[in-house]
């Protein structure tokens, strides 16, 4: 991807909250958000993702560093001067205005004519399927409906970038799934760049074109969901996204050697990487269990717990090294009790499933 279609460029942004001890909410963050993409800031609470969003919105200003929008430095512009709108976590709908009044507000502030305003309001109501409730007050509609109004209100002025601050966190699971699909649809229909903040890794994986994983005020890694899931660069990212098995190993030219001497062959693409004592990652679904031929197999473990989840079954094993290891096996209709607690099994992995991490 080239830089030609970058829309937001965050350059070495530092945000310090002064206090008894200074808090580095953002510690030298740089990233580029491209036009027309669904970009997600993912991280645990307190990682600085909301702070970054508020800096882009203009509610706060960086201590140092710049934020560019289409190449122009907007770091110090107030929110009402930026072509950027926000969907707030609390929705922040104006309680004394109707649904239509809320959607019209931004357009009125921009000085649009009455006809333009009412035409756009109708379009937006249609876009979020709220035509029938347009004369209701926010207090008279459900949480999911309020969510749609908040979206319509923020989309109505056709911003260059739409910022979404954990907008789905207040909804129940089923509604959240619906809204995830809905958001994706809105993004592709409007062609507006979405910057979405969440702590929910599943949400991030399913909706995003690209994800930036944040922790303690820093961006640890950013890339598309596949890259992030299959090639996490460090333990934090691997741990935060998906389930993981971490094993400590000595990495040599062709093998990773576990502490009991078991050799795991490394994929060719990873052989040139740094050697020495490392953590390696193996995802639970990338391992197949086989009934054992003990003398031959090198990588094995003993099952000590089996948890049935419907779609799949989780096997908890203890490796000869003493480390825990989880395997996820998809269930099939004609399944028997192939493996039982206490049995020792052989573990078969594709060498590409091994990921070497930088701690």
Partner 1 sequence: MIENENIKSQDSAEKAAKVEQEAQRKDVRNRWLLSLPALSIIFLAAAGPLGIVIIYSFLTPGDYTGVIWTFSTETWISVVLERDFFDETLGWADAHLSIFWRSIRLSLITTILTAIFGIPTAYFIATRSPRSRNIWLFLITIPFWSNLLVRTYAIQELIRNKGVINNFLQWIGLTNEPIEMMFTDFAVGFGMTYVYLPLMVLPVYASIEKLDFRLVEGAYDLYASRWLCLRRIIVPLVRPGLIAGSILVFIPCLGAYVTPQILGGGNQLMFGNLIALQFGQGKNWPLGAALSITLMVIVMIALVYFVKVSSGENKENG
List the one residue from 50, 86, 245, 326 that touches partner 1 (CB under 8 A). 86
Stretch that binds partner 1, among 21-29, 40-48, 79-87, 177-185 (CB under 8 A): 79-87
Residue whose C-alpha is closest to residue 258's, from 278, 274, 273, 244: 278
Stretch that binds partner 1, among 55-63, 140-148, 191-199, 333-341 (CB under 8 A): 55-63
Report yes or no: 280 and 246 within 8 Å, Cβ to Cβ. yes
Residue whose C-alpha is closest to residue 198's, from 26, 335, 6, 40: 40
List the one residue from 135, 248, 298, 331 that touches partner 1 (CB under 8 A). 135
Residues 104-123 that bind partner 1 (CB under 8 A): 105-106, 109-110
- d(C-alpha 214, C-alpha 59), whole Å: 20
Please state the closest distance from residue 88 (CB atom) to partner 1, in A: 6
Cβ closest to partner 1, residue 71 vs residue 95: 95
Please state the closest distance from residue 22 (CB atom) to partner 1, in A: 21
Site membership for partner 1, residue 80 (CB under 8 A): yes
Count of residues near partner 1 by CB under 8 A: 28
Cβ closest to partner 1, residue 85 vs residue 147: 85
Strand partners, 211: 40, 223
CA dist 112 to 50, 105, 128, 175, Å?
Answer: 31, 10, 21, 34
Q: Provide the angle, in degrees to the nearest 10, between the axes of the packed helices 114-127 and 143-155.
A: 140
Cβ closest to partner 1, residue 106 vs residue 242: 106
List the one residue from 101, 167, 284, 301 that touches partner 1 (CB under 8 A). 101
Residues 137-166 that bind partner 1 (CB under 8 A): 137, 153-154, 157
Report yes or no: 264 and 249 within 8 Å, Cβ to Cβ. yes
CB neighbours (10 Å) of residue 339? 19
Cβ closest to partner 1, residue 69 vs residue 303: 69
List the one residue from 78, 178, 288, 358 that touches partner 1 (CB under 8 A). 78
Report yes or no: 104 and 121 within 8 Å, Cβ to Cβ. yes
CB neighbours (10 Å) of residue 209? 17
Residues at the contact surface with partner 1, assessed by CB under 8 A: 57-59, 78-80, 84-86, 88, 90, 92-98, 101, 105-106, 109-110, 135, 137, 153-154, 157
């Amino acid at each position: 991807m080239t830089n030609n279609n970058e829309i937001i460029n965050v350059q070495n942004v530092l945000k310090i909250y002064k206090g008894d001890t200074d808090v580095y909410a953002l510690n030298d963050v740089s990233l580029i958000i491209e036009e027309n993409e669904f970009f997600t800031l993912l991280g645990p609470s307190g990682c600085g993702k909301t702070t970054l969003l508020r800096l882009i919105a203009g509610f706060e200003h960086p201590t140092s560093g710049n934020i560019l929008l289409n190449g122009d430095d907007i770091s110090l512009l107030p929110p009402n001067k930026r072509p950027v709108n926000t969907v707030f976590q609390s929705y922040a709908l104006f309680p004394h205005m109707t649904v239509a009044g809320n959607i019209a507000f931004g357009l009125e502030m921009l000085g649009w004519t009455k006809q333009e305003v009412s035409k756009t309001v109708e379009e937006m109501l249609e876009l979020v399927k709220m035509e029938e409730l347009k004369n209701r007050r926010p207090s008279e509609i459900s949480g999911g409906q309020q969510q749609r109004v908040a979206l319509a209100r923020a989309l109505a002025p056709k911003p260059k970038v739409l910022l979404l601050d954990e907008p789905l966190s207040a909804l129940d699971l089923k509604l959240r799934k619906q809204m995830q699909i809905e958001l994706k649809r809105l993004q592709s229909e409007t062609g507006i760049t979405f910057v979405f903040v969440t702590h929910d890794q599943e949400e991030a994986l399913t909706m995003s074109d690209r994800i930036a994983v944040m922790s303690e005020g820093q961006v640890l890694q950013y890339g598309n969901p596949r890259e992030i899931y299959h090639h996490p660069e460090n333990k934090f990212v691997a741990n935060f996204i998906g389930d993981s098995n971490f094993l400590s190993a000595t990495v040599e030219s062709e093998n990773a050697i576990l502490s009991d001497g078991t050799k795991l062959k490394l994929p060719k693409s990873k052989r040139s990487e740094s050697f020495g004592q490392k953590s390696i990652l193996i995802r639970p679904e990338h391992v197949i269990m086989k009934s054992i031929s003990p003398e031959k197999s090198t990588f094995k473990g003993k099952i000590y717990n089996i948890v049935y989840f419907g779609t799949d079954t989780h096997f908890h094993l203890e490796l000869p090294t003493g480390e825990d290891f989880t395997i996820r096996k998809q269930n099939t209709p004609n399944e028997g009790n192939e493996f039982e607690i206490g049995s020792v099994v052989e573990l078969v992995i594709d060498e590409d499933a091994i990921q070497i991490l930088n701690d």
